[in-house]
Amino acid sequence: MVAQSDFAFRQLTRNHGATLTYTQMLHARNFVSSKSFRSDNYDFNTETEGLKYGNPPLIAQIAGDDVGYMTEAATILSESGVDGIDINLGCPQAIAKKGNYGAFLLPQTDITTEIVKSIKRNVPNTPLTAKIRIQEKLEDTLMIARKLEEAGVEMLTVHGRTVKENKTLTKQANWDAIREVVRHLEIPVIANGGIETPQDVEAILARTSAVGCMSSEALLENPSLYDFDNALPMDCPSRVFLDRQVKLCKEYIELAKLFPPVGNGRFGGHSAVKAHVFKMLYTAFSNPKFQDLRNKLGHKKTYRIDQTEEIVNDLEARLKIATDEEIQFPRTFSWYRRHRQPLVVQPVINKNAAKAEINMRLQTLKERRMKRMNSLT
């Protein structure tokens, strides 16, 4: 997950049952070449994370198609103290296609096996894993998986969808294909895809015989997905569900205060905070009654954690006085399913305000230009 697996969020998931976490995906070339990229994207906590402290292991994930950069990135990460290195061969996004990495590199087995062998030669003492997506044909999936195993991958995560099956084209994950990979490999296999509830975790493990279950998008909305002892039933009242989501947000915000996410851009690390809060409170923000809070969270003037915390507290207070009917929503409605259902609420855009802001920016640019010209004459 790019820019969404910050330390505070990883710790939140650990607090609620996660036994293995990953850093966000790191582009190997950028990671090796740019110190600013490393400082803005890599936040391994050397004082608390990992097996050496008796905590759940942390694996750093890298992506790229250049053997040299991938090997050097793995070396740097290994020396930093992480518990493992993961090669991302599952990203289906357009940027991965453009950069020839992720799921688009996966069929190029000559490159992927060379990367694996090079990392194993140069970083022999750090476990090496990989994540893949299934192919259109099962035999191609099995061939690729075997080649990765033979090259030196020590654990494989298999997403049960093809590269085309994402966003609006998302289909039911193919757990049977994952089961076949499990049957044909000697190394441990982690199952991934179609995990929305704790019941799904139990089901995919039973169906595939995998050693573990990975969640990404569903976990972003419900960081307590692996907290089996306190799992909510699907038919629980909306109020109970929303109360839990608010509590998770507040717990995350407290962690983010202690360990601010790294980052650059308009909001810096606070972009991650805003994104996490939005996903956790997606169902509440999709209610017209709370649309103003959704818009406020997304506004450029909300750039500090205390401002985001105020929005969450405001929502909590308003939920307490709302009637059950006012906050009722179908339990099948969620951020996880956002590509498979229409939005209930569209953000309100004030066209006049937007036009005024554009004119103000143009005027500022004009004044700066005139000032530069005057300085030259």
Active site residues: 91
Encoding tokens for residue 8?
């505070």
Q: Which of 226, 230, 210 is nearest to 218 (CA)?
A: 226
CA distance 186 to 155: 9
Matching residue, tokens 């929502």: 315
First-to-final CA distance of the chain = 52
Would you tell me the crossing angle of helices 238-258 and 7-15 to the nearest 10 degrees? Answer: 130
Task: Give me the helix-helix angle, 291-298 and 305-321, nearest 10°.
Answer: 180
Copy the structure tokens of residue 130. Answer: 């990989």
Distance from C-alpha of 73 to C-alpha of 62, rounded to nearest angstrom: 8
- With CA atoms as reference, report the closest residue to 335 among 179, 219, 183, 169: 219
Main-chain dihedrals φ then ψ at residue 66, nearest 5 degrees: -100, 120
